[in-house]
Chains A and B, each alone.
Chain A
Amino acid sequence: MFDLSGRKALVTGATGGLGGAIARALHAQGAHVAVSGTRRPALDALAEELGSGRVHLLEADLSDAAAVEGLVPAAEAALGGLDVLVNNAGITRDNLFLRMKDEEWDSVIAVNLTAAFRLSRAAVKGMMRRRHGRIVNIGSVVGATGNAGQGNYAAAKAGLVGLTKALAAEVASRKITVNCIAPGFIASPMTDGLSEKQREGILATVPMGRLGEGREVAAATVYLASDEAAYVTGHTLHVNGGMAMF
């Protein structure tokens, strides 16, 4: 089950905790992975850890439109095709709505939503030709529930859900699936920095009583990327320990 041998996957934002976990999990299932990110040392470390010849590094800053344009062709060239696109890259520029600058809004929409649109548009071309493809967009529970101080981020993540459904409807007949994963609170360098009190406040909202692990989100990605998930499309899979149920 969930064997990805020979599959070719691109994971954006792979220098973050979650992207790294996703790249590791796809790789462990046998996939060839191209990983993009902004921090070269983190990419190098990931490549060294994975070790085999099945990893390709692509430095790309998704706030740069030209870098976005070039990324899918670069991944297809490096991998010899592209079966799986994981739009994971994301940034936050939190601010109260009344204080939010246009720049904070625009930059979050650009990286979290527009880059996913452009990368999906580029990737789906080859997938249509090959009559196979998997696109997995990494959203957030915040896209469904909203969150004070994250108007831009919540809008972008909710936008990904709509993008997912519209594209899924268009390309289903070509055996391409498009799905979204909406993580809740996942342990990361960011959550490591929380005070004990903040941590308790968060955990009080999570029935499971703990933060999620990156690998738990990665496992959901592996499933949606697999042949076994061929009939699942347009779906948003919530991985949040029960903190919001839909």
Chain B
Amino acid sequence: MSDIADRVKKIVVDHLGVEPEKVTPNANFIDDLGADSLDTVELVMAFEEEFNVEIPDDAAETIQTVGDAIKFLEKNSG
């Protein structure tokens, strides 16, 4: 796993309080990890802070799985 993937995973585990094993690239925040819509907003805020990027609303809407987040951040951060 890349450094970005590790950091994303840590944020998701900390924020949603889920087992690290469940946080796979295909895991959907809402369907698989029990997030509600407010959690997804908070996750995006946490990603923005951790990676010092701005994630616009239309991009945020496409980030539905752990893999989506990793992909977006690999492309758009640092």
Contact = CB atoms under 8 A, between A and B. Distances in A.
Contacts of B36: 173
Contacts of B42: 128-129
A122 interface: no
A125 B38 contact: no
Interface in A117-133: 125, 128-129
Contacts of B45: 125, 128-129
A174 B37 CA distance: 13
Nearest to A173: B38
A142 B38 CA distance: 33
Main secondary structure of the interface of A (DSSP, over half): helix
A170 B38 CA distance: 8
Contacts of A174: 38
B8 to A, nearest CB: 18
Interface in A58-81: none
A171 interface: yes
A125 B42 CA distance: 9
A170 B39 CA distance: 11
A136 to B, nearest CB: 21
Nearest to A170: B38
Contacts of A125: 45
A125 B44 CA distance: 12
Nearest to A128: B42
A246 to B, nearest CB: 30
A174 B15 CA distance: 12
Interface string A164-180: 00000011011000000
Interface in A160-209: 170-171, 173-174
Interface string B28-46: 0000000010100010010
Contacts of B38: 128, 170-171, 173-174
Nearest to B41: A128
B49 to A, nearest CB: 9
Interface in A75-104: none
A129 B48 CA distance: 13
Nearest to A171: B38
B47 to A, nearest CB: 13
Interface in B44-77: 45
Contacts of A129: 42, 45
B31 to A, nearest CB: 19
A129 to B, nearest CB: 7
Interface of B: 36, 38, 42, 45
Interface of A: 125, 128-129, 170-171, 173-174
6 contacts: A125-B45, A128-B42, A129-B45, A170-B38, A173-B38, A174-B38
3 smallest beta-carbon distances between A and B, as pairs: A128-B42, A170-B38, A125-B45
Given A128-B42, A173-B36, A173-B38, 8 more contacts: A125-B45, A128-B38, A128-B45, A129-B42, A129-B45, A170-B38, A171-B38, A174-B38
